[in-house]
Structure 1
Amino acid sequence: MRGSDAGTPRLSWQRLHPGSLPPRRHVSRQSNPQQQRRHRIDRGAVVRGRYREICVRVEKYRPQKLDDLISHKDILSTIQRFISEEKLPHLLFYGPPGTGKTSTILACAKQLYKEKEFNSMVLELNASDDRGIDVVRGPVLSFASTRTIFKRGFKLVILDEADAMTQDAQNALRRVIEKFTENTRFCLICNYLSKIIPALQSRCTRFRFGPLSPDQMIPRLEHVVQQESIDINPGGMKAIVTLSSGDMRRSLNILQSTSMAYGKVTEDTVYTCTGHPLRSDIANILDWSLNKDFTTAYKQILQLKTLKGLALNDILTEVHLLIHRVDFPPAIRIGLLIKLADIEHRLASGTDEKIQLSSMVAAFQAVRDMVVSEAS
């Protein structure tokens, strides 16, 4: 017998006693599967709709036109001129994540092609999914080498995260770009320009997308807050902008996750949701490190770190910002910053966090002793 539903025992009993079956209810047996299927469809639609509502807010507010983009106006004006003069070159967009690289080229594509011809004229690939030479010899070559019968102009290939492509794949792509320039334009998108081979760089017009400024991010965040009816205060908005570091995508994700987790978006809920230490926690860490003995300070910081699940790297980042507000003598501040940089470097190398935490406390204890000795 499979499962434990109500129909299973009846089926087994029917097989054993075929002559004593009760009258069949044909209508019920024929209609139930349809009703169940309709119920599954309705329920699935609700679940999918809710999932789409939650998960696609970054895509929902992605700019659809070049005029909707909020930054890099000099780059946009240059690209707009290329499009209007029908002289779009191969493009290479590079810069940190969430700065508008993909949104810019997608807006260009929507301006170049009508909706019904978009899929036949644009090939969008994420190079990190398949980073080997096969993706160049397969879908890229196949798409670039064919022409459309009823459409004049060039096709567009968008390779996102191109810096993840292998050396062989990039060399193969160079030849494809050379061979099909008349028929196809390429746009390479990457975070690190140094990971793109010089031969590809020389074949593209390069544009650097820098981090967005708070003045550019806040109006867009306020628009999303208004559209989604999110409860947020000025402290929460400032915390989102600070933690996102010019990454618009990250700021929208922080806004969404915090509002869904806590309802109200404040400075404390933003820092808690992202796992960053609160300002009050950093003030306590600095106070313990400078005013208590080594053992007590270490134990209290370790207890706080364990209780709130904080990463030492995040603590170092926030401590670094706070150090500049403390009235240390310049020479002492410089020495402390160098020691903290060494700790961060060792953390990146995979050393034990507890050992590096003790090193951080020791650095502050040494600073305290130096300040006291200078004062006396």
Structure 2
Amino acid sequence: MTTGQPWVEKYRPRNVNEVAHQDEVVQTLKRSLETANLPHLLFYGPPGTGKTSTALAIARQLYGPELMKTRVMELNASDERGISVVRNKVKAFASGAVGQPVPGYPCPPYKLLILDEADSMTQDAQNALRRTMEAYSKVTRFCFICNYVSRIIEPLASRCAKFRFRPLHREVMSDRLHFICAKEGVVLQDEALGLLAQVAGGDLRKAVTTLQSAVRLGGVQVDRQSILDVSGQVPPEVIQQLLEACQSSSYARVQQQVTDIIAEGYPAQQVLLQLQAAVVPGAPGVAPSSVPMSDKQRAGVCELLAESDKELIDGADEFLQLLNIAGSVQQLLVSS
């Protein structure tokens, strides 16, 4: 087992066929790659679902590892994303000559410009791209990658073939994690796998990173506690005990639970997040709370959580906010 290289890079898909779960996207792109006639692309969806990996896999299949250095440019949010970059760097790359092909790869007569996290680009920069895309479409294809497609201006979006990347289901994530564990000689317990899927929430990159961190912390035998230690996740039983205390009529019990949570160092916002997942039925990967609630009570709890989350963002004290939430939830459950 080696832990020197990040596993998210080591096991990143090398071609489109290896992309997990996104079947419709893969089938469509495979047909485009067979003809080497690629449209402008727009990949959108939650983090860790394979958008950037797919774009890089396309580039690798079209040009090969050597030609990628000259035919592919990748810009992400770490670069300046204003209008000056579009007018200078992007335009210079898009207008440049294509160059000679490499034997063994399709090497179509165009380059590929990958704009990662394109939803962070300014409106002026996006507007400046419209003319660049039109003027140089014969020699350059654009691939936009974003989390929120609504932040891409319509004139850009309408020029692209759109592909939605969905959060990964637990079964898909389990298959990939078991594959990595087999390659690295890691023993992942079923209970730890379930918690890892819950922590990741459909984000395979987060799941792989958390798994590697757990291996570095506790060795190749990965159990539930190792995942809890590296993920910052509050143990589900702690959330359950807090809800049970809120169901009781004892305020002293509620106060003691909140004091214990803060003493353990659990972040208040994480507690609120997991409280919401326990209260709202059907949250992916999360067991619903055993504390009975009506729909009206659930709605009331969610409203309280939203208000408290805003207060925490504004810098409120974590202990007081959790105590306020717990007391308000208790009042809601006992009085109803």
Question: Percent same amino acid at aligned positions?
Answer: 37
Which consecutive unaligned segments of at least 5 residues does structure 1 have? 1-49, 372-376
Structure 2-normalised TM-score?
0.88
**Aligned mate of 2:297, from 313, 332, 335:** 332
Whether contact under 8 Å (2:247, 2:334) holds in the other structure is: no
Which consecutive unaligned segments of at least 5 residues does structure 2 have? 102-107, 280-288
2:37 match: 87
Structure in which a larger fraction of residues adopt helix: 1
Aligned length, in residue pairs: 319
Secondary structure of residue in 1 paired with 2:4: helix
- Distance in 1, Cα, partners of 2:332 & 2:51: 44
- Distance in 1, Cα, partners of 2:18 & 2:121: 31
**Aligned mate of 1:355, from 317, 320, 328:** 320
Secondary structure of residue in 2 paired with 1:54: coil
| Residue 365 (structure 1) shift | 2.0
1:284 match: 241
Whether contact under 8 Å (2:242, 2:258) holds in the other structure is: no
Q: Give a deviation string over 1:325-369, Cα, whole Å, max 9, x none.
A: 322344434433333343334434544333321221122321342
2:285 match: none
Q: Is 1:66 the equivalent of 2:31?
A: no
Q: Which runs of 4+ in 1 moved over 4 A?
A: none
Whether contact under 8 Å (2:243, 2:291) holds in the other structure is: no
Whether contact under 8 Å (1:65, 1:107) holds in the other structure is: yes
1:42 match: none
RMSD: 2.0
Question: Mapping of 1:46-125 within 5 angstroms?
Answer: 53-125=3-75
**Aligned mate of 1:273, from 230, 248, 255:** 230
Higher RCO (C-alpha under 8 Å, 6+ residues apart): 2
Secondary structure of residue in 1 paired with 2:144: strand
Larger Rg: 1
- Distance in 1, Cα, partners of 2:263 & 2:323: 18
| Residue 246 (structure 1) shift | 0.5
Structure 1-normalised TM-score?
0.79
**Aligned mate of 1:201, from 126, 144, 157:** 157
- Distance in 1, Cα, partners of 2:5 & 2:244: 41
Q: Is 1:367 the equivalent of 2:322?
A: no
Mean Cα deviation higher: 120-129 or 338-347 = 338-347
- Distance in 2, Cα, partners of 1:171 & 1:257: 42
- Distance in 2, Cα, partners of 1:168 & 1:272: 44
- Distance in 2, Cα, partners of 1:124 & 1:340: 40
The residue type equivalent to 1:95 in the other structure is G
- Distance in 2, Cα, partners of 1:92 & 1:333: 37
Question: Mapping of 1:119-158 within 5 angstroms?
Answer: 119-151=69-101, 153-158=109-114
- Distance in 2, Cα, partners of 1:160 & 1:229: 33
1:161 match: 117
